[in-house]
Structures are given as structure tokens and as C-alpha cells.
Structure 1
Amino acid sequence: LINLISRCLLIDRLFCLIVKSNKLMLLLLKILSIRIRKMITDVAPYKLIDIGANLTNPCLNDRNLCDVVDRAKAAGVCKIIVTGTSIETAKEAMRLSRLYPNYLFFTAGNIAELEKLALEPECVAIGECGLDFNRNFSPQENQLTAFEAQVQLACKLKKTIFIHERDAHSALVEILKKYSLILPYAVVHCFTGTAEQAKTYLDMGLYIGLTGSLWKDKLEFGVQYALRQGIIPLNRLLVETDSPYMYPNIKAKKLQTEVKEKVSPHALQFLHHCSFQRNEPCALPTVVELIAAFSGASVDDVAINTTLNAVRLFGLTSE
């Protein structure tokens, strides 16, 4: 009787183990299925190049930078150009570009060590340089002198110019026209001006860089108007996040419902990682989809054209 009871208990235990193992197997299969499905749906629908990100900013350039880069890659950003606005930031941008070879590149703009930094293989542009008569961080005469020297060096090295301009359109155009016959590629980054100003830049052969600030354009004949009217063609357009700034606030009341509805789940899932205080390169899909919504072009056309433009201007690859 004892033997029989023991055998029954043993059989019962074996049965329980089989049931548990089957449940465990089913659970593992379910987890695996979810992960495979996630891998399939997480594949970015396009390749993008962020031509301007301030990854040397303390809120991004920390021990979590690898997460920032991973999110950007998952979002479809295949290259990022880190902007150097001083000797210190340019050197730090160069260091970062060597931590992530063939993914991060940098610009150098400070005139003191500009030529030396510009000759580094990871340096793809002279800049950020230009004129800012809005905030006037330095006297306007000093800005004009420095910018012209930077343009001269860019012409000498045949290096793309990464331009910043605020309330200084006429002065900027005047300097650039002096070098029109030898001017290399140039992009007016984070453009927020009028359609007429955009047309002037385009007529001079320049490219236009747009960021997430597109959502808050208040001008009657501003960037949104220029896109709707086809004044800024796709073959002269570049995209950037200017992170950690220029967060694309697609929840803003002023943004038209039909525009909001065109932002895809793919873009939204990465935008959740960003905020007004800390925008990231992974927000670039939202920028591209906003441009598509305002211009009436397909997202694919915006993505393909802006990526090819960046490849051409900065001597990159899309791999």
C-alpha cells in the first residue's frame, strides 16, 4: 500500500512538472513572439541624417549618451553631425565622433583653431558660423569680421559652411555674395525666416535646414507657407533636431489637426523620450513627417531627398 501511494505521489509530481513545463514553454514562446513582433515593427521605415545636434550639451553628453545614440539609430537616424560652436565644444564633438566612428561627425567654427580642426577627417563642415543680430552675443562688427574669415577658410578648404542667422539676413547675403564664384556648399541651419528670405538663399545656391521649430512658425509668409507653396524644394532641403533644443511640440493647440494626424506611431514612440528641456536626435522622424504634412509630399520623398542632400553636402554615406 505504501509503495502504491508513493508511486501515485511520484506520478502526480511528474504530471505537475509536465504541466508546469508546458506552461513555462508557452510563456517563453509568448515572450519570444512578442520580441520578434517588436523587432519587426521597430524597423525604421526610412533612413535619416540629422545635420545638427548639440550632443556636447551637458544634458546629452553624459553617461547616457549611448542610450541617446541607440534611440536615434532605432528611429532611423543613420548619421548625426555634432555642432561645434567653440574650441571646447568642437574638440569635444571630435572626441565623440571618434567614440562612434562613421556615425557621429562634427563641425568646427571657432576661428582660433579652425583650420587645424577642419582638417580632421571627422570634420565635415565649417561652423556653426554666421551672424546673430538678435541676441548679439558679440558686437556686430566683430561678428562680420569673424564670419567673413570663416567663409574665406571654407572657400580655401572647399568645406561646406554650416550657417547660423538671426535678424541678419541682408548682412549675411552681402558677405556671401562676395564669394559667389568660389563658395562651397552652404546650409542655413535651423531656418526660421520668411519665404522671401528662403528664396534669396536658394537663388544663391544655398540649402535650407529645418528643425522641429516648424510647428510654432508664426509668420504669415514663413516656413510653413514656403513649404505649402513649394518655395523650398526637396532637393535643397536638410533636416535636423538641433537637440537638445527645438522640440517639435505636436500637441500644441495652434497646430492643425490634419497635421497632427499625419505623425506616425513610429515617430510618436520616439518623441516620448523627448521634451522641451531635452530634445533628442530620435525626434527627427517627427520633423520629417511635419515637413511632409505641410508640403504635401510623401514622407518617403522627404526622407530620401534630405538624406541624399546630406550625403552630397557633407561627403557622407547613407550606410
Structure 2
Amino acid sequence: MTSKDLDALMNCCDNYILIDVGANIINKKFARDVDSVIQRAKDAGVQKIIVPGSSVKSSKEALRLAKFHSGTVYATAGIHPFEAKSWDESQLSALEDILKDTECVGVGECGLDYTKDFSPPEIQKMVFEKQISLACQIKKPVILREKGAYKDVIDLLTKYKDSLPTLVLHSFVGTFEEANSYLQLDNVYIAVSGYLCKDNSFNGIQKLIETGTLPLNRLLIETDSPFLYPNARSSKLTEPVKNAFTQRSIRFLERYCTFQRNEPCSLPVIVEMIAGLLNKPAEEVALATTLNALKVFGLS
């Protein structure tokens, strides 16, 4: 089969309608072909892509990309915990300016990450609280990163619980019990990524989905491109999950994505992983997560 024939096959079938709520397509790995990456995502059924900021600079870059691909790409603006060490007060007003734009739909990626020593925990907490306070004022959703910092994040969210906007827990990798605590907050959604195929803890995201503890109306999907390649051949995936994969989704994954550079066009594989765990049609998962994303981010 020629490359032209393969392209025709990929585009002759009905697509899912999907929204990738976290794709880092301003990463330097996409510098040469971001327009093609966005087009491939559309071909795979990904109608909208939310690009998170991790610093003032990258937040501006995300917004510029959103302006160029208006209606398809949207930005968020925030200071990643790894960038907290460089904080100064001028950054808060800079973030406010970016967040005034209608194509900037959320605050973040912000939060706490104690797994790597890029920024001291106390500095991380200070910068995170400033962004939570800002989000409470402007009423835009928060893209929340938490790794190894569950108690401190819960403590801070509890402090602001009466005024918190919607929270999106980015690429959750914590335990079943931790997720349960987050879900006790009515305005929390959990974004599921290709980490699904790495989780063999028997107490993490797979269990959360299989048991229905994470209901479809609180679930979002993301690729976290260029990271977290959803390895459809992983030995950690069960037979029901592997049987849920379609040839079309696998072709997009294996033709355009690698462990070194994942793309938003891999999102259908994540939908099918979730469908396999739930024993539900992938179309049902796609519809639910898309409606959730439209609601959370105020998209049309």
C-alpha cells in the first residue's frame, strides 16, 4: 500500500470528535512542523487542542499559536512548578494580561511537583497560591499539576474551596485514594493521558476508571504531547483494552508518533483504552469527554 493510499484510507472513515485538553505543541520538538501536526490531529478527529503555558514566555507563545489557529487551538497561561524559582511579582500582572484574551481559556499549568528538585517547595507553594487566587478572581479553570505533593495541594485547595473555579487535574498519576479525595471537590475533573498504559500499580488510574470511581462526567482526555506516548503494545494492557483498538487509531499512532515525540493525533488510542477499561463503546467515551471539555473551558 502506498503512502497516498494509506492517507486515503485514514480519511475515508468516520472520526470521533475529540478535544485534547493538554498538548505541548509549542515544545521545540514541533518547531518545524506544528501546522502539519495540527492538521494530522484534525484528520484523526481532534477538533480542538488546548496548549498549556508553563511560564510567561511560553504562555505568550501558546496564545500566539491560538491566534494563528483560531477556533482550533486555545491557550492557557501559568507558571509551572519547575519554573517557580524564577518568580517575580511582575509575572502576575503579565499572566493577568494574557488571561484577559478570550482564546486563553485557563490558568496553568500550575501546582506542586516535589519529585524533582527544580524549585524549592516553599517557593512552589507561594507561586501556586498566587495563581489559585488569580483564578478565583477571574473565574477561569485551573490546569493543576500535582506530583508527590498531594497533601499540600489539598490543603491549599481547601483554603480556597468556597471560591475555587473548575480544576483540571493534569495527567493524573496518583493513587486511587488520592483521586477519591480530589473528586470530593465538586468542580474537579481528571485528565487521562497515555500514562494509562504505564500504570500497573493496581491502585492507580486504571483501577479508578475500571471501578467507575472516575465517572465519565468528570473525565477529560489529553496527550501531553510530545510526552507520554500511549504504547498500544504495552504488556501492562489487558486483552479487553487491546481489543478496543481500531486499525485507524493504531495507524495514526504508529505512523506519526514515537516514544520521543507523541502527537495529538494519538488521542483516539487513549479514548479506546478508556473504552476497553469501561467496557463501553469508544464513541460514548469520545462524546462524554468532548462535552466535558466544552463545558469546562467554555468552548463552542
Q: TM-score, normalised by structure 1?
A: 0.85
Q: Which residue of 1 aligns with 2:48?
A: 79
Looking at structure 1, the residues matched to 10 and 214 of structure 2 have their Cα atoms a distance apart, in angstroms, of 36
Structure 1 residue 151, shift from structure 2 partner: 0.4
User: What is aligned with 2:27?
Assistant: 57
Counterparts of 2:71 and 2:146, CA distance in 1: 29
Residue pairs, 1:116-135, within 5 angstroms: 116-135=97-116
Mapped to 1, the partners of 2:78 and 2:114 lie a distance apart of 18
Note if contact 1:195-1:221 (Cα within 8 Å) is conserved in structure 2: yes
In the alignment, what sits opposite 1:290?
273
Gaps of 5+ in 1: 1-30
Which structure has the larger Rg?
A: 1
Superposed displacement of residue 98, structure 1: 1.0
Give, in whole Å, the separation in 2 of the partners of 1:36 and 1:257: 28
1:43–1:74 contact (8 Å) kept in structure 2:
no
Aligned equivalents of 1:190 and 1:226: distance in 2? 13
Deviation at 1:139, TM superposition (A): 0.4
Report how far residue 124 of structure 1 moved.
Answer: 0.2
Q: Secondary structure at the match of 1:53?
A: coil
Runs of 4+ in 1 over 6 A off after TM superposition: 34-37
Please give the alpha-carbon distance, in whole angstroms, between the structure 2 residues aligned to 1:37 and 1:229.
39
The answer for the alignment partner of 2:12 in structure 1 is: 41
Q: Alignment partner of 2:126: what SS?
A: helix
Contact kept, 8 Å, 1:93 with 1:106, in 2: the verdict is: yes
Identity of aligned residues (%): 43
Matched letter for residue 216 of structure 1? K
Q: Quick check: 1:96 aligned with 2:65?
A: yes
TM-superposed CA distance for 1:268, in Å, is: 0.7
Instruction: Give the paired residue count.
Output: 283
Kept in 2: contact 1:42–1:74 (CA 8 A) = no
Partner of 1:162: helix, strand, or coil? strand
CA deviation after TM superposition for structure 1 residue 283, in Å:
0.3
Structure 2 gaps, min length 5: 80-90
Whole-Å Cα distance in 2 between the matches of residues 224 and 159 of structure 1? 29
Distance 1:36 1:157, change over 3 A: closer
Which amino acid letter does the alignment assign opposite residue 195 of structure 2?
A: S
Asked if 1:143 corresponds to 2:114, the answer is no
Aligned equivalents of 1:222 and 1:35: distance in 2? 37
**Hey, what's the Cα distance between the residues in 2 that align with 1:50 and 1:277?**
19
Deviation of 1:258 after TM superposition, in Å, equals 3.0
**Is residue 78 of structure 2 the alignment partner of residue 109 of structure 1?**
yes
